Structure 1
Amino acid sequence: MKVLILGSGVIGVTSAWYLAKSGHDVTVIDRQSTVANETSFANAGQISPGYSAPWAAPGIPIKAMKWLMQELAPLKISIKDLDTETMLWMTKLVANCNTKDYHRNKSRMMRVAEYSRDCLRAIREEININYDHRTQGTMQVFRTRTQVESAKKDIQVLTECGVEHKVLSAEDCLDYEPALKHTIHKIVGGLHLPNDETGDCHQFVTELAKDCERMGVKFVMNTSIEKLNKQGNEITGVATDKGEFKADTYLMALGSYSTHMLANVGIKVPVYPVKGYSLTLPIEDYSAAPESTVMDETYKVAITRLGDRIRVGGTAEIAAYNTTLLEKRRKNIEYSIAELFPHAGDLGKAEFWSGLRPMTPDGTPILGKTNIDNLFLNTGHGTLGWTMSLGSAKFVSDVMNDQTPDIDSEGLSIDRYGR
């Protein structure tokens, strides 16, 4: 079967790998010159099933109002970019900010994320792939007692889902991240998730694409996708600036750009772009650098060790499809690493980056079949594209092959939003 995958980020390339392994003739098409060159390029580096949680949580609307009044805050809203689509998406997100929906959505997300980590481990055993990975877990650090109390609800879900974790005192945090010894007075406690991992997503996708090519996958780059051509209940081709591409089956993996492309063929998905930012800086003092990932709960900033570099990622900016790299957003992520690991790296040499995360209002990605016979979806992973990529790709590959997936499919398809 000929499969055409739209998008060459971590979602598209991992999907290509599994589909090629199952014997299909796979082509990946993308407007960029190289794979993983947009949202997958410089994300936070976390592979964090244990930290998989929807943004839509009880109390978030009130917190969001407070954040908007703060200079250093995890959420920013660009008023000039607010439009009807943005307001509708935000309304749906707020509707999920209750205890019942939060627990249901978190369980769905963790189901995919835990499976994805297992798939990643299996790939490492199968092929030699280097991506500066570490397997020392994630440590969430709390600066206030209020945060410690609030975390109890998440810990309850971790317990219910059988996710290994350990609640830490401030002193316990030093056992996992000794470099915090200079700033431990700013921390009141933490939560360690030992089964989480870290790694450079861009490097991983680049290496995996090479393995895909060895299996016969074709990558058509520098090609802008214009629209899906539909006749009856099938996609007949994909129109691009280089002509029309045809296949038997099509997989949508365009992240935030899936929404408008699908709308043109009558499929509505609540996938919205939320801009995130990161810094990548060289390590100056290895003894002062983090060992793995530290999540600063106050500012929702992840600080991750990637070989001889540190990746600092965070901030959620609601600004529609505005991709402008704003220097004023740099302060939030700079502040977090300067506060916790002040001597670790050279901020003067940091590379500043932003990307659009494809968010659903309930946090769970949209995977599998659509009401168009030969069109499938793998999109809407939000901040967890790297974390959920392998599991999502394997799940969708199984669905496309008419095989029973390894995990429960409940709540993962577009059907959860109604037809």
Structure 2
Amino acid sequence: MKVAVLGAGIIGVTSAYQLAKAGHEVVVIDRQTGPALETSFANAGEVSFGYCSPWAAPGIPQKALKWIFMKHAPLILRPKFDPAMLAWMTRMLANCTSERYALNKSRMLRLSDYSRHALATLRDETGIAYDERMRGTLQLFRTQAQVDASAKDVKALAADGIPYEVLDRDGCIRCEPALGHVREKIVGGLLTPNDETGDCFKFTNALSRKAEELGVRFSYGTKINGLDVEAGRVKGVLTDSGRVAADAVVVALGSYSPLLVKPFGIKLPVYPVKGYSLTVPIIDATRSPESTVMDETYKIAITRLGDRIRVGGMAEISGYTNDLGQARRRTLEHSVTDLFPGGDVAKASFWSGLRPMTPDGTPVIGPTKVAGLYLNTGHGTLGWTMSTGSALVISDLVSGRRSEIDAAGLAISRYTSVKSAKQQDMIFPSRIF
């Protein structure tokens, strides 16, 4: 079968690799000059199989009001007249209940744990290197209130059999020795030991080369103008270089996916939420992290990538904008220097990317009402984490095989099916759009 994968980020490249392994003839189409040059370029570096939660959670609306007045706020809202933004925010707020949080987190943990095994297998079969470390994620709490609030996450981890450790101050320092220099600033933490770290850009580029060895063709510098759909079935992709025939098309365009499928009546609730990062050269390893530390106060991840520290986080809801606000840089610098002053922030590179977020946190993976058209998008901050598992799921679906995990609740049908929330396939009525 001829399969066109749209997008050469981490999701598109992993999908192409697995589809080629399944025996398909695969072409990847992307407007950039190479793989992983947009949202996958300089993300936080976390591969967070255990630290995996929807942003829509109980208490978030109240926290959001407080964050508005914080100097170093983890959430920045720049409202504009944008019906898609309003619809997405409405749906996200509707997910901020205990019942929906538990449902969404369970879905996400199921997919991320599948990805954990898939990444290990892929690493063994390819031997690729990407500044990888397997030392876990430490969710760091500066206040007792944060410790208390983590109980819901502990409950969800336990329910899904995900390993975790609740740590006191000394336990955090044993896990991350550099925190001994700032012990008075921390109260406790939650460690998910199976989490990993790595450079997503390096990984994606290395895997794209392995995909080429399997016969995948990459068409870079190619603008996608639309889809060729006849009688309810996709027939190909329309580009500025001509039509590309395909028996199946996998849309992995991140935040831009909704724009491509909208003309066919597919209402995909994915919206860009901008994140920022710094990449800081290490000058003192004794005051630098060993793995990933998630600063819960600022929602910022501080990750060791070889001889660099990647500092990533924040959520800016401002539409399709990629400007670099200096206030955001100051927040990243504040978090990392407050805990790990072992890097030279003056020489750091500053970056932003558009995370493709769904209102319930779970990505959209599966078929659409257009025959042969599939979605693999909406992974938000967890594209790197969920990529390998998502690629296997989409490869199985395209190939007509049953997925190794329960894929219920992953497809776009969960937003339109007339079922109860307990049946896991209807979160909101489509009329909200």
1:288 aligns to what? 287
SS of corresponding position for 2:272:
strand
Q: How does 1:346-385 map to 2 (within 5 A)?
A: 346-385=344-383
CA distance in 2, matches of 1:327, 1:32: 26
Aligned: 1:55 with 2:30:
no
Q: Is the 8 A contact 2:300 2:312 kept in 1?
A: yes
Structure-1 separation of matches of 2:235 and 2:135 = 47
What amino acid is the match of 1:23?
A: G
User: Which residue number in structure 2 is paired with residue 303 of structure 1?
Assistant: 302
SS in 2 for 1:364: coil
Counterpart in 2 of 1:218? 217
> Paired residue for 1:388?
386
Contact 2:235 2:248 in 1 (8 A): no
Give 1:78 shift: 1.1
Q: CA deviation at 1:325?
A: 1.7
Q: How many residues align?
A: 417
Post-superposition shift, 1:185?
0.5
Query: Hey, what's the Cα distance between the residues in 2 that align with 1:236 and 1:166?
Result: 50
List runs of 5+ in structure 1 lacking aligned partners.
Answer: none
1:206 and 2:205 are equivalent in the alignment:
yes
Point out 4+ residue stretches in structure 1 off by more than 4 angstroms. none
Structure 2 CA distance for aligned equivalents of residues 42 and 68 of structure 1: 26
Counterpart CA distance in 2 for 1:26 and 1:232 is 23
Range 218-227 or range 327-336, more displaced = 327-336
Partner of 1:409: 407
The alpha carbon displacement at 1:181 in A equals: 0.9
Find the aligned partners of 1:39 and 1:82 in 2 and give their Cα distance. Answer: 25
In the alignment, the residues of structure 1 paired with residue 92 and residue 130 of structure 2 have an alpha-carbon distance, to the nearest angstrom, of 34
Contact 1:275 1:316 in 2 (8 A): yes
For residue 65 of structure 1, report the CA deviation from its aligned partner.
1.0
Whole-Å separation in 2 of the counterparts to 1:94 and 1:231: 37
- One-letter identity of the residue aligned with 1:5: V
* Change in 2 beyond 3 A, CA 1:22/1:217: same
8 Å contact 1:6–1:12 — kept in the other structure?
yes
Counterpart Cα distance in 2 of 1:25 and 1:227: 21
Q: d(CA) in 2 for partners of 1:255 and 1:122?
A: 25
For 1:51, the aligned partner's letter is Y
What residue is the counterpart of 2:421 in the other structure? none
Paired residue type of 1:39: T
SS in 2 for 1:49: coil
Amino acid at match of 1:65: L
**Residues 88-135 of structure 1, C-alpha deviations (whole Å, 9 max, x = no match):** 100000000000000000000010001001100001111110100000
Q: How does 1:9-408 map to 2 (within 5 A)?
A: 9-79=9-79, 81-342=80-341, 344-408=342-406
Q: Deviations over 1:369-406 (max 9, x none)?
A: 11111101100000000000000000110111111111
- Residues 232-266 of structure 1: CA deviation (Å, up to 9, x unaligned): 11112211121221111100000000011110121
Contact map agreement 1:283 1:289 (CA 8 A) in 2: yes
CA contact (8 A) 1:281 1:347 kept: yes
| Distance in 2 (alpha carbons) for counterparts of 1:264 and 1:347 | 45
Q: Which amino acid aligns with 1:352?
A: F
Distance of 1:329 and 1:175 partners within structure 2:
31
CA distance in 1, matches of 2:92, 2:140: 26
Q: What is the DSSP-based 3-state SS (H/G/I as helix, E as strand, rest coil) of the residue aligned with 1:171?
A: helix
Rate the CA distance shift 1:306–1:82 in 2: closer, same or farther, 3 A: farther
> In structure 2, what is the Cα distance between the partners aligned to 1:379 and 1:215?
23
AA in 2 matched with 1:214: E
d(CA) in 1 for partners of 2:167 and 2:317? 33
Tell me, yes or no, if the aligned pair for 1:228 and 1:265 is still in contact at 8 Å. no
Identity of aligned residues (%): 55
Residue 356 of structure 1: SS of its match in structure 2?
Answer: strand
Q: Whole-Å Cα distance in 2 between the matches of residues 315 and 332 of structure 1? A: 9
State the one-letter code of the partner of 1:318.
Answer: I
Scaled by the length of structure 2, the TM-score of the pair is: 0.95
Give the residue type in structure 2 aligned to 1:370: T
> What does the per-residue CA deviation read over 1:292-332, in whole Å, with 9 as the maximum and x for residues that have no partner?
00000000000000001100000100001011122221111
Per the normalisation by structure 1, the TM-score is 0.98
Question: Structure 1 residue 82: deviation in Å?
Answer: 4.4
Gaps of 5+ in 2: 418-433
Q: Which of 324-333 and 358-367 deviates more?
A: 324-333
Helix, strand or coil for the counterpart of 1:385?
helix
2:112–2:385 Cα contact (<8 Å) kept: yes
- 2:430 aligns to what? none
SS at the partner of 1:352?
A: strand
- SS at 1:31's partner residue? coil
What SS does the corresponding residue of 2:150 show, helix, strand or coil? Answer: helix
Q: CA RMSD in A?
A: 0.8
Cα distance in structure 2, aligned partners of 1:76 and 1:192: 27
- Give the 3 Å change call, closer, same or farther, for CA 147–270 of structure 1 in structure 2: same
1:28 partner SS: strand
Query: Would you say the 8 A contact 1:82–1:320 is kept in 2?
Result: no
